[in-house]
Amino acid sequence: MKNYLYLFLVALVTTGCGSSVSVTSDYDETTDFSQYKTFSYYGWADNSDKILTQFDKDRIESAFQNEFAKRGITSNQDNGDAIISLYVVVDQKTSYSSYTDHYNNGMYGGMYAGRYRYRYGYGAGYGMGTSTTTTTENNYAVGTLIVDVFDAKDKKQIWQGIGKKTIDDNKGKREERINAAVAKIMKEYPVQSQE
């Protein structure tokens, strides 16, 4: 599982500006998000931090801290207005693809001259064709990074941002790409960046 999570973090950041990360979000429409000026990290939910290195946790937390700061919300670990929880999930998926190769389309043609049962001229006809269909099974992993925001007073969830990406092995420029992927998730937050 640790290897899959590592690959997810790599995959999360493999494309510049986080463009290949699929993002969704939801929020409480009755909440005035402008009232939140500080936040505290609750931590990594459901033991997902046990499959992360400390370096990876620090990179992700720092990226979210920077994005919240752009919205006028600063870190206050002891007494934040909002509480942030992070969660990572890796799911195994299977897809199927099929390809049909038509060796003969079933038509044969030719010219003949001469007499056959009182007919003269050219001829064409239809015959049996052959084709082969090949189905391929593709196994892959999809990594999901979830950020939940709660009101610190009543513990009510007020926002959730989700970033998903298919895992691959590209390992370049991790920190830069983590920042870009987190920025894409945070674009969905109800308070927009002030930068």
Tally the domains of the chain. 2
pLDDT at 17 over 60: no
Does 10 reside within a domain? yes
Position 1 scores a pLDDT of: 47
Q: Measure the CA angle with vertex 67, ends 63 and 71; round to 5°.
A: 165
Whether the model clears a pTM of 0.75, i.e. scores above it, the answer is no
Query: What integer best gives the mean pLDDT of the chain?
Result: 76
Q: What CA–CA distance (Å, rounded) separates 160 from 147?
A: 6
Asked if residue 193 is part of any domain, the answer here is no
115 lies in a domain? yes
Give the whole-angstrom CA distance, residue 44 versus residue 97.
Answer: 37
Residue-number span of the structural domain to which 8 is assigned? 2-95+140-186
| Same domain flag for 84 and 36 | yes
Confidence of residue 132 (pLDDT cuts 50, 70, 90): confident
Of 15, 147, 173, which is closest to residue 85 (Cα–Cα)? 147
Domain membership flag for residue 18: yes
Residues 83 and 40 in one domain: yes
Side-chain half-sphere CA neighbours of 67 within 13 A: 24
Read off the CATH number of the domain in which 68 is found.
3.30.160.670
